[in-house]
Chains A and B, each alone.
Chain A
Amino acid sequence: MNSQIDMKFESLHKKSPFTVPDGYFENFPDKVMMQINNLPEQHEPTTPRLIFKRQFSIAAAFIGFFLISYTFFTLISRHQDSRKMAENTTYEEAVLQYVNEKDLMETMIAEEQPMNPEQVEDYLINENIHESVVSDYFNQ
């Protein structure tokens, strides 16, 4: 550092040129303590009820997540099963999965040959078909 400036710094002797009002430091602690005494008390809620509520919420969140995941994966798996079935099944097989073959036969017969009971009886007699054959058929 330049010697002239050194001298300046020396003469300053690191003395702060700032001052404070009279009695400032004597009164300052009282000012701060008054503010501290007026601070609201901080409450730390750590009651067992609140702890339980917190744990319950966490558990409920996990259960909810599990249920949603389960539903999601089940739906995906069913969709995949349906697609697989569709790829490997003919139309007739698909229909027959939902329809009883006996009912289907009856419907087809009824649609093709609408007869009253007397006509049925006549037919059976003319064709020499014993009624037990008919009853056996319908009892299958």
Chain B
Amino acid sequence: MKQFRSDNEIIEDIKRAENSHLAFRELIEKYQQPLYWHIRKIVIDHDDTDDILQNTFIKVWKSIGEFKQQSKLYTWLYRVATNESLTFLRNKNRRTFFNIDSLSAEWDARLESDPYFNGDEAELVLQKAILTLPEKQRIVFNMRYYDEISYKDMSEILETSEGALKASYHHAVQKIEKLLKQSLNLSSNE
């Protein structure tokens, strides 16, 4: 596994004109995977994720000069990626004329037909349950459950209080539990 330098060292090099491109490439290699999976869990589709991830890094490149190293680099990167993903979803929702039922059905269909979905039946049920959550709650759930990001860091990324995030995650778990129970009951009755 490739060893990467610290974020501060990479940032300093990016800000120096002579090494900027090489250093930025190192930044991409360091963060492409965590950011990819974060975006992928939001938008589901691989091609959409690819577009959003590229846009994220382009945006980061354009505004890296403004990045103040008071906050962590990775929380800033996650914030840019999250905002890009939410913008994508909002534009997509506008195109479906805010029809929530058709959106939900679309997500299910996407999951089931996704060539890059390798989960079994249980994982499909779980993903469908997660997709029923409102966008922001879904992001909170994924970041806490899958990425195990602390509430403190999540608060910086999503610009929401830790208390609100904890409440959101708690409610997300309750909703998913309920849906899984219903699914289990259905499958046990078959």
Q: Report the separation of the CA atoms of residues A32 and B21 in the bound assembly, to the nearest whole angstrom.
A: 11
Interface segment among B75-83, B85-93, B120-128: the answer is: B120-128
Set B29, B117, B126: member contacting A19, Cβ < 8 A: B117
Query: Which bracket fits the contact residues of B?
Result: 35 or more
The answer on a CB contact under 8 Å between B41 and A16 is yes
The answer on a CB contact under 8 Å between A33 and B122 is no
CB of B107 closer than 8 Å to a CB of A: no
Which residue on A lies nearest to B58, using beta carbons?
A35
Say yes or no: A29-B28 contact (C-beta < 8 A), given A17-B117, A35-B58. Answer: yes
What residues of chain A lie closer than 8 Å to B46, measured between beta carbons?
18, 20-21
The answer on a CB contact under 8 Å between A12 and B28 is no
The answer on a CB contact under 8 Å between A29 and B29 is yes
The answer on a CB contact under 8 Å between B177 and A5 is yes
Q: Is the interface of A mostly helix, strand, loop or mixed?
A: helix
Say yes or no: A36-B61 contact (C-beta < 8 A), given A17-B127, A31-B54. Answer: yes
The answer on a CB contact under 8 Å between B41 and A18 is yes
What residues of chain A lie closer than 8 Å to B40, measured between beta carbons?
16, 18
What residues of chain B lie closer than 8 Å to A29, measured between beta carbons?
25, 28-29, 32
Q: Report the separation of the CA atoms of residues A12 and B126 in the bound assembly, to the nearest whole angstrom.
A: 9
Name 17 A/B residue pairs within 8 A (Cβ), A-sorted.
A2-B181, A5-B177, A5-B181, A5-B184, A8-B180, A12-B123, A17-B117, A18-B41, A18-B46, A21-B46, A25-B36, A28-B28, A29-B25, A29-B32, A33-B25, A36-B21, A39-B61
Q: Report the separation of the CA atoms of residues A39 and B36 in the bound assembly, to the nearest whole angstrom.
A: 23
Set B53, B119, B177, B181: member contacting A17, Cβ < 8 A: B119
Which residue on A lies nearest to B145, using beta carbons?
A14
Q: How many A-B residue pairs have CB under 8 A?
A: 81
CB of B3 closer than 8 Å to a CB of A: no
Count A interface residues, CB 8 Å.
27
CB of B97 closer than 8 Å to a CB of A: no
The answer on a CB contact under 8 Å between B173 and A20 is no
What residues of chain B lie closer than 8 Å to A17, measured between beta carbons?
117-120, 123-124, 127
Lowest 3 A-B CB distances belong to which pairs? A17-B119, A17-B123, A29-B28
Which residue on A lies nearest to B146, using beta carbons?
A14
Say yes or no: A8-B28 contact (C-beta < 8 A), given A1-B173, A19-B116. Answer: no
What residues of chain A lie closer than 8 Å to B62, measured between beta carbons?
39
Q: In chain B between 165 and 188, which residues have their CB closer than 8 angstroms to a CB of chain A?
A: 173, 177, 180-181, 184
Shortest Cβ distance from residue A135 to the other chain B in the assembled complex, whole angstroms: 93
CB of A4 closer than 8 Å to a CB of B: yes
Q: In chain B between 30 and 46, which residues have their CB closer than 8 angstroms to a CB of chain A?
A: 32-33, 36-37, 40-41, 44, 46
